[in-house]
Structure 1
Amino acid sequence: MWKQAGEAMRILHLTPYYAPAYAFGGVVRAVEGMAAALVKRGHEVTVLTTDALDQRRRYDGPPDDMIDGVRVLRRPNAWPWLRGRLNLSTPRNMKRTAEAILPAVDVLHVHEFRTLENLLAAPVAQKLGKPIVLSPHGTLNLETGRGRLKTVWDRLLSPGLALRLDHVAALTEAERAEAENLWRNFGKRQRPTRFSVIPNGVDRPEIDQRRMAADFRARYALGDSPVVLFMGRLQARKGVDVLIQAFIAAGVEDARLLIVGPDEGMLPRLRALAAGDPRIVFTGYLDGDARLGALAAGDIFALPATGEGQPIAALEALAAGLPAVLSPGCNLDEVAETGAGFVVEATAAAFANQLGLLLIDVELRAAMGQRARRLAEARYEWDQVAMQLEEVYAGLL
């Protein structure tokens, strides 16, 4: 059934983890933002996911619920701890649920590439003639963790899934090129997969930023010191170790480094690198007002990641008015192009130079922070993302 962009559609998002399972990273926030924006534009949105909140806990609410206008169906995750070991979700009853609800939807939108959820639901959608859209969220690259497992997965499972997909919505031009190359290796299909670039989004929260900053700084004894903020999971590809080395090398005595995020096995090594430096503060996982407080209290956002799709945390920092020091692996070159921060190689020396400059130059921080907020508003609002998704969906119906 053909639909125009803007006409109400019934959309099913399939994702291993969904809000409030924020411990699993930025994809959770991305899918939540996408779903909410589509609902605001008048579409009927369902999310099919698992009940894992993190590697140990499960969601204790109803398995079928309406959250902010989004219908959320949660099915059991057999072994949530495998996410940490193999980066793998283990859903139960997913195929049965997909068979029950897919006949009544217009399009299936799957998130992340190599998932059991996709392998279970995509054949059902194809059999019913439902178009399938993939948002890889930076998961295509073989070099960003568990490359050997990904290679085996691609040899055995990925071609069958890839050739069922009608559209790949990459986050960046680099990811689109990566997808096109991967699909060529997988083989041809009668109806070719289409490719586009649709960025992540962010909404600027309506908060009392000054009050939240003061409360957060008091809680963590930050005083009036300039604060470098890292926000993300503590894993190798995020480059937290590089950031700690860079912060120490920058040598700004009254500065603070705030490391916010859940540990994924790196914390002992990171504490050893910090060597008891009282200027380096580990908060652990923060969410809700505490997370917003960290953004309000920060002066600079830094992320020397070696492999990202397009980090939601970086977009949140831009929206909060923080100048950013990023690596090319964050895929946000426009930060440097618009003067909202710096994009430099993910080395301690390169990050130390830019952090040192921003930490001692208050006027430069303020000017870049204003440009950061304008960049987020101009390019990364969720409503703009939803409009682009509408065009993709409508073109497949």
Structure 2
Amino acid sequence: MKIVHLTPYYVPAYAFGGVVSAVEGMAHAQCARGHEVTVLTTDSFDQQQRYDGPYDEIRDGVHVLRARQLSARLRGRFNLGTPLGLPGLARRALKGADVLHVHEFRTVENTRVLPVAVQKGVSVVMSPHGTLGYETGRGTAKSLWDDLVSRNMMHQIDRVIALTEQEAHETRALWLQYGLVPDVSIVPNGVDASLFAHLPDGAAFRERYRLGDGPVVLFMGRLHARKGIAELVEAFRLVAQPDARLVIAGPDEGMLTRITPHLDDRMIVTGYLDAEARLNALAAADLFVLPATGEGLSMAVLEAMAAALPVLLSPGCNLPEAQTTGAGLITEPTPQALAAALSGLLGDGERLRGMGQAARQLVQSRYTWEAVAIQLEQVYRAVIGLD
């Protein structure tokens, strides 16, 4: 099968969040299963810089085609793509393709490429990756975009691939606003568990950031309001455990100036961590926390669980099985609820270790990329009429 993925950002643009790792994992797993895979993307690298490598390359078996952007800063500041020549690249990439798999919903890239796919008769599936809801910020802008752009684009999408039942519900509700009923399948994100099977010694990370020997709570993700970072900082101030530390790792998306006045000497902000540093952070941590108000299915959470870290999550993370399997706890993302959960967990090292083992087992049983690739194949085949 010839598969083309369309994503606003791709490896090594990890600063743009979990969608980059998700598309990377899908593409590699599909290549391993014998498919011909192309990723159509832009030269986004981080909030200010462009990718400085080749724009047409074979990367780990995946053909990657990048469109140059008019402005890298517009992407970094407003997540607004300005790709040049993307329709031409799309016509090249989609020649003979069986399916176009679009990642994220409201993007300029989609408006450039979906008409080409329709013209060529290529089936289109779309993974929102948690970008549908209005409550996650910029609600008015999203609503206006939907009225002007999305309502037409919905007719070009043959199937939506939701990460969770909650995202499937959001999809149906949004399509219904425009009198449409979408076809929806549910396929989760995955993780390469082998990357987290043998972690480095966490002592070096603890020493670098002067974390001491007490329990370390790790938040790793973009510093965005919907990630619940402000509530987590307030909650940690309520935790009466002097040797506990909160490590806040990830690129800033407007929240650093808001939380800085509330940080105390038990809280450490590292900024963006590359892949090696992220492994070191996971190795040093005792508990992973994500109190997000809205997620698809967080890659950071799956990676933490693959590293045998217990997780403290909000209902908005859409992973109730973390609690039902003993891999973590689900609590409301309020400072008081988070503080109570943290206080109960940090004083019980044996419980944390047991939860961590359950977390790793959960990932290995349900969230490997091989399993995800098989499920995606089934969706693709149904959409293009092979089943």
Distance 1:74 1:109 in 2: 16
- SS state of the match for residue 104, structure 1? coil
Alignment match of 2:240 (pick from 240, 245, 251): 251
1:3 matched to which residue of 2? Answer: none
Alignment match of 1:328 (pick from 287, 305, 315): 315
- SS state of the match for residue 201, structure 1? coil
Query: Percent same amino acid among aligned pairs?
Result: 56
1:139 matched to which residue of 2? Answer: 131
Deviations 1:189-224 (A, max 9, x none): xxx742111111111244685643122122222232
1:89 matched to which residue of 2? Answer: 81
Distance 1:316 1:382 in 2: 12
* CA displacement at 1:142 relative to structure 2: 1.2
Are 1:76 and 2:65 matched, yes or no?
A: no
Distance 1:223 1:151 in 2: 47
2:187 matched to which residue of 1? Answer: 198
Are 1:278 and 2:291 matched, yes or no?
A: no
2:251 matched to which residue of 1? Answer: 262
Map of 1:1-397 to 2, 5 A cutoff?
Answer: 9-188=1-180, 193-206=182-195, 209=198, 211-274=200-263, 277-397=264-384
* Alpha-carbon contact 1:336-1:343 (below 8 Å) kept: yes
Amino acid at match of 1:227: V
Distance 1:100 1:84 in 2: 27
Deviations 1:133-159 (A, max 9, x none): 000001111111111110110101001
* CA displacement at 1:84 relative to structure 2: 4.4
Distance 2:192 2:250 in 1: 20
Change in Cα spacing, 1:206 to 1:157, as seen in structure 2 (3 Å) is: closer
- SS state of the match for residue 52, structure 1? coil
Change in Cα spacing, 1:208 to 1:171, as seen in structure 2 (3 Å) is: closer
* Alpha-carbon contact 2:200-2:279 (below 8 Å) kept: no
Deviations 1:356-376 (A, max 9, x none): 111110111011111111111
- SS state of the match for residue 12, structure 1? strand
1:4 matched to which residue of 2? Answer: none
Distance 2:152 2:381 in 1: 25
**Unaligned runs of at least 5 residues, structure 2:** none
Distance 1:343 1:234 in 2: 21
* Alpha-carbon contact 2:247-2:269 (below 8 Å) kept: yes
* CA displacement at 1:128 relative to structure 2: 1.2
- SS state of the match for residue 116, structure 2? helix
Deviations 1:57-102 (A, max 9, x none): 1111110011111111111122222234433222111111112221
Aligned residues between the structures:
384
CA RMSD of aligned residues (A): 1.4
Amino acid at match of 1:234: L
Distance 1:174 1:266 in 2: 26
Amino acid at match of 1:162: M
Distance 1:286 1:263 in 2: 12
Change in Cα spacing, 1:212 to 1:73, as seen in structure 2 (3 Å) is: farther
Deviations 1:89-125 (A, max 9, x none): 2211111111222122111000000111111111111
- SS state of the match for residue 168, structure 1? strand
Amino acid at match of 2:92: A
- SS state of the match for residue 57, structure 2? strand
* Alpha-carbon contact 1:49-1:73 (below 8 Å) kept: yes
Amino acid at match of 1:224: D
